[in-house]
Amino acid sequence: MEILVIGGGAAGMSAASWARRKAPEARITVLERTNIISHAPCGVPYYIGGLFKDYWLLQAYDVKFFRERRNIEVLTNAEAEELDVRSRVVVARVGGQRVKLEFDRLIVATGARPRRLLSADARVLYVHHPADAEAARRAAEAAREVTVVGGGVLGVEVAEQLRNMGKAVHLVHRGPYLMSRDLDKELGSALTQMARGAGIDVRLGVTCV
């Protein structure tokens, strides 16, 4: 059996590992369009804030681990470009070449995407994936004042780290309190007050376009 996973983040590598347990004899291949796998975005704010310098600490396990310990082949810098469900074929660009990969089972674990603003200003950066972290870190170091759009987990953590760096920080969130999708009103309101107490300019009920 050929199992193909598109996406090598935390979800994709967990799915590939689960598939290995369920199908010990299967051939499992993972496609990841960046150079880093087995990651979660929760470490990115702390890399931006300078709590650690090694980019690769954002990766829990590397390609060698999955190949040698779990018999899972991982192709990095490999982006799926076409999918033919009827023929069960994915066309991917790997190392500059287009290759066809057949599958019996396909798992798509490409994750979410941040909503893009209408502005094309180069000063607008999107922080979602470890691949975004280096540019965001350089921009943060050079900036004096930063606006963070989004008061979810990542937005709050990024704002906290920027404030710890001594930046003037504005945190814009469309909900009634920070982390409104994760916390109830009591906890979310307490978090909002803590952020304001730390010197973060929190603006609620605001939608950016």
Q: Which amino acids are annotated catalytic? A: 42
Cα–Cα distance for residue pair 15/9, rounded to 1 Å: 10
Instruction: Determine how β-strand 145-149 pairs with β-strand 89-94.
Output: unpaired
End-to-end CA distance of the chain: 46
Are 12 and 6 within 8 A, CB to CB?
Answer: yes
Residue 117 is given by DSSP the state P
**Beta strands 89-94 and 78-84, pairing class:** antiparallel
Can you tell me the distance from the alpha carbon of 184 to that of 164, in angstroms, rounded to the nearest whole number? 26
**Alpha-carbon distance 180 to 168, whole Å?**
23
The length of the chain is: 209
Sign of the torsion angle spanned by Cα atoms 133, 136, 140, 146: negative
Please, which residues have CB within 8 angstroms of residue 121's CB and are 6 or more apart in sequence?
A: none
